[in-house]
């Protein structure tokens, strides 16, 4: 076979292959073109390659060189076609086909809103801030010292019963039990431990108790703790602060009532009731900080006195918005949440 004839076959084949690859508009046609030209057994390139043996011996090196060049050209054309089709599958390519239409109505974004309890917390911080109280924070996982011991709650006290608390079996060791805090009074201790008096803080956050959920109970809820330590603080100051707070939050001239009570960390202790729509409603506990607590944090009870209170945040929010079931807060039903 003459060299010229072989080269002509080869050129023709290369032109046909390049044209077929360029014409392919989908992966399927490209694949059948690949099999036709580049197929390992019966591909047309293979067939031409076999003919190389018939070329005169002296011409064979030239034939081989030309063959390699054209094979490279065909391979490149195939790779280019494949890259073109791959790109076509991407959205960028599709948007080229369908140009952006600025007259179409846009997709509306639904705005969320803050949870009613979060909104309440923000408002309580704002009101108490005006009365000079700074916000302090504490951990929700506590040790017995901050949740009980320093608060004058001895080991045999029923409040420490495992059935009344969420003790954590994974944290701490047996002689250092950890628990989900059952009250925000823990933050009183944490603040006093590293701040010399005077102190004027509030702390808002979650507390946990193994209560069965019903309309007025939930195993997790929020408290606002208040603590004021200074010289010559009296129960009259406590009553004034709580009354000013209630008037700001609930609106109008809210009356307040103290009922004698008991908390290990305050002496005397009271339950705090607010009058609302001709009803007395309990919002929390309060009292003068017990001297034992002041001593536990290294304060001198002869020098300073103070008051503390703990109010239920859900209760305040429920009263304000006439919500009758605490469980509504934690169902995550947007029909409820969107009303606030
Ligand atoms: N920690 C008490 C409770 O959770 C409330 C309280 C706070 C009482 C501060 C007195 C002083 O019931």
CB 206 within 8 A of CB 140: yes
> How many helices (DSSP H) and strands (DSSP E) are in the chain?
12, 10
CATH assignment at residue 306: 3.30.930.10
Element (H, E) at 208: strand 199-208
- CA-closest candidate to residue 242, choices 93, 126, 102, 127: 127
pLDDT digits (tens, 9 = 90+) for 204-251: 999 999 999 999 999 999 999 999 999 999 999 999 999 999 999 988
CA distances from 151 to 55, 135, 184, 336 (A): 104, 20, 11, 38
Predicted local distance difference test score (pLDDT) of residue 174: 61
**Is 205 part of a structural domain of the chain?**
yes
Could you tell me if residue 306 is inside a domain? yes
**In a domain? residue 101:** no
Co-location of 84 and 186 in the same domain: no
User: Is 266 close to ligand 1, i.e. is its CB under 6 Å away?
Assistant: yes
238 and 208 housed in the same domain: yes
The CA distance from 154 to 142, in Å, is: 16
Instruction: Identify which of 179, 310, 312, 313 to mutate to test ligand 1's pocket (most ligand atoms within 8 A of the CB).
Output: 310
Q: How many domains does the chain have?
A: 2
Of 38, 64, 96, the residue at which a domain comes to its end is: 96
* Mutation to probe ligand 1, out of 205, 261, 285, 311 (largest number of atoms < 8 A from CB): 285
Question: How far, in Å, from the CA of 185 to the mean position of ligand 1?
Answer: 6
Q: Measured from the CA of 185, which atom of ligand 1 is nearest? A: 1
Residue 266 CB contacts under 8 Å (≥ 6 apart), including other chains: 285, 286, 287, 288, 289, 290, 307, 308
Q: Whose CA is nearest to atom 9 of ligand 1?
A: 309
Do 58 and 177 sit in the same domain of this protein?
no
Which has the closest alpha carbon to 308: 189, 195, 215?
Answer: 189
Pocket flag, ligand 1, residue 309 (CB < 6 Å): yes
Distance 312 CA to ligand 1 centre (A): 10
Ramachandran class of 266: left when φ > 0, alpha when ψ lies in -120 to 50, beta otherwise: beta
**DSSP structure class, residue 67:** H
CA of 36 to the centre of ligand 1 (A): 86
Distance 285 CA to ligand 1 centre (A): 5
From the CB of residue 221, how many other CB atoms can be counted at a distance below 10 Å? 20
Supply the pLDDT for residue 286: 98
Q: Are 71 and 45 in contact (CB under 8 A)?
A: yes
DSSP 8-class letter at 52:
G
Query: Does residue 104 lie within any of the structural domains?
Result: no
Give the residue, out of 148, 179, 185, with the most ligand 1 atoms within 8 A of its beta carbon, to mutate for a pocket test: 185
Within this chain, do residues 269 and 147 fall inside the same structural domain, yes or no?
Answer: yes
184 and 270 in a single domain? The answer is yes
Helices 116-130/235-250 angle, 10° precision: 130
Q: Is 120 in the pocket of ligand 1 (CB under 6 A)?
A: no
Is 305 contained in some domain? Answer: yes
Same domain, 270 and 130: yes
The residue whose two tokens read 């019966």 is 42
Q: What is the DSSP letter of 38?
A: H
Whether 55 and 203 share a structural domain: no
Confidence at residue 308, expressed as pLDDT on a 0 to 100 scale: 98
Q: Tell me which residue range forms the domain holding 287.
A: 116-337
**Whether residue 120 sits in one domain with residue 89:** no
Report which DSSP code applies to 259: E
For residue 284, how far is its CA from the centre of ligand 1 (angstroms)? 7
For ligand 1, say whether the CB of 286 is within 6 Å of any of its atoms: yes
Q: Is the CB of 180 under 6 A from ligand 1?
A: no
Q: Is 165 in the pocket of ligand 1 (CB under 6 A)?
A: no
Q: Which residues of the chain have pLDDT under 70?
A: 88-96, 170-175
- Strands 199-208 and 134-135: what pairing? parallel
The answer to whether residues 128 and 237 belong to one domain is yes
Residue 105 lies in a domain: no
Q: Could you tell me if 126 and 185 lie in one domain?
A: yes
DSSP per residue, 117-182: HHHHHHHHHHHHHHTTPEE----SEEEHHHHTGGGT--TT-GGG-GGGSEEESSSS-TTS-EEE-S
102 within a domain of the structure (yes/no): no
Q: Based on the fold, state whether residues 85 and 199 are members of the same structural domain.
A: no
Residue 182 in contact with residue 164, Cβ under 8 Å?
Answer: yes
Say if CB 153 and CB 264 are below 8 A apart.
yes
Q: Residue 253: inside a domain, yes or no?
A: yes
**89 and 148 assigned to the same domain:** no
């Amino acid at each position: 076979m003459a060299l010229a004839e072989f080269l002509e076959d080869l050129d023709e084949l290369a032109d046909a292959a390049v044209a077929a690859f360029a014409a392919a508009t989908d992966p399927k046609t490209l694949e059948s073109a690949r099999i036709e030209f580049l197929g390992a057994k019966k591909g047309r390139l293979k067939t031409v390659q076999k003919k190389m043996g018939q070329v005169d011996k002296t011409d064979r090196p030239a034939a081989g060189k030309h063959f390699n060049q054209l094979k490279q050209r065909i391979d490149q054309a195939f790779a280019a076609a494949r890259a073109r089709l791959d790109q076509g599958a991407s959205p960028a390519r599709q948007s080229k086909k369908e140009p952006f239409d600025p007259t179409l109505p846009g997709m509306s974004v639904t705005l969320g809103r803050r949870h009613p309890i979060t909104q309440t917390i923000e408002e309580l911080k704002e009101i108490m801030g005006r009365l000079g109280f700074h916000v302090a924070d504490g951990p929700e996982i506590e040790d017995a010292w901050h949740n009980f011991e320093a608060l004058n709650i001895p080991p045999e006290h029923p409040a420490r019963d495992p059935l009344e608390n969420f003790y954590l079996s994974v944290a701490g060791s047996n002689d250092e039990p950890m628990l989900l805090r059952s009250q925000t009074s823990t933050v009183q201790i944490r603040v006093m431990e590293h701040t010399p008096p005077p102190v004027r803080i509030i702390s808002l956050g979650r507390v946990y108790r193994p209560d069965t959920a019903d309309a007025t109970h939930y195993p997790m809820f929020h408290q606002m703790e208040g603590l004021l330590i200074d010289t010559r603080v009296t129960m009259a100051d406590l009553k004034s602060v709580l009354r000013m707070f209630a008037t700001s939050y609930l609106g109008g001239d809210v009356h307040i009532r103290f009922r004698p009570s008991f908390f290990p960390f305050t002496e005397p202790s009271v339950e705090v009731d607010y009058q609302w729509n001709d009803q007395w409603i309990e919002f929390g506990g309060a009292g003068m900080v017990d001297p034992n607590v002041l001593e536990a944090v290294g304060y001198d009870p002869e020098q300073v006195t103070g008051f503390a209170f703990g109010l239920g945040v859900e209760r305040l929010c429920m009263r304000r918005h006439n919500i009758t079931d605490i469980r509504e807060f934690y169902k995550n039903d947007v029909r409820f949440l969107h009303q606030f």
